[in-house]
Amino acid sequence: MPLLGPDDALPRRPARVLVAGASGAGKTTLAGRVSAVLGVPHVELDGLYHGPGWVPRPEFEQDVHRFTADPAWVTEWQYGTVRPHLLGRADLLVWLDLPRWVVQRQLVRRTVVRRVRRELLWNGNVEPPFRTLITDPDHVVRWSWRTHRSNADRVRGVLRERPDLPVVRLRTRREADRWVRGL
């Protein structure tokens, strides 16, 4: 199946949707919107993955296998340990392919706001101090910058491995808005 754009019709109404993109691209926000339009649950993978103190939860993979056994869901396509399983269960992949500068702007803004407000994230976690942007090579901003291109490689792999799977590519927030309205 060819890569679909924001105005292309889907071959069928999806029930199990993955949203791919760089860290900070807006996967979770888009997944929530798709969930609301389709009337299916949104399972936020970060909430399943991160335990207290940012330690990965040992039950993560079991939790993913549990919810993906359900007939309908929307989630983000991330975390290498579960990506193959998620892909095998999905009937639609939405690729939020925003330019790196847009993603970085969104991510830095989100990170600063969360830190200043000390917003509670998953399992009692908060954004780490600003200095960790420099001291932690895996800080989310640095991680997003470093891994941005790998999303395109993964999606190209999906097009080869799962030619039956519709893949929608959204290159701007405006395209994403238009696509969601057309669901």
Predicted local confidence at residue 7, as pLDDT: 96
Torsion of CA 157, 159, 163, 166, to 10 degrees: 130
- Rounded to a whole number of angstroms, the distance between the first and last alpha carbons of the chain is 19
Residue 168 vs residues 15, 19, 73, 114, 118: alpha-carbon distances, Å: 15, 9, 17, 30, 35
Helix 27-38 to helix 173-182 angle, to the nearest 10 degrees? 10
Model confidence, pTM: 0.93
SS3 call for 24:
coil
Predicted local confidence at residue 136, as pLDDT: 87
Predicted local confidence at residue 58, as pLDDT: 97
SS3 call for 79:
coil
Q: How confident is the model at residue 117 (pLDDT cuts 50, 70, 90)?
A: very high
Predicted local confidence at residue 2, as pLDDT: 78
Residue 66 vs residues 69, 73, 117, 144: alpha-carbon distances, Å: 5, 11, 33, 28
Query: What b/e readout covers 162-177, taking b as 16+ CB neighbours within 10 angstroms?
Result: eeebbbbbbeebebbe
**Tens digit of pLDDT for each residue in 40-66?**
999 999 999 999 999 999 999 999 999
**Tens digit of pLDDT for each residue in 126-177?**
999 998 989 989 889 998 999 999 999 999 999 999 999 999 999 999 999 9
> Domains of the chain by range and CATH?
16-182 (3.40.50.300)
Strands 42-43 and 92-96: unpaired
Does residue 4 surpass a pLDDT of 80?
yes
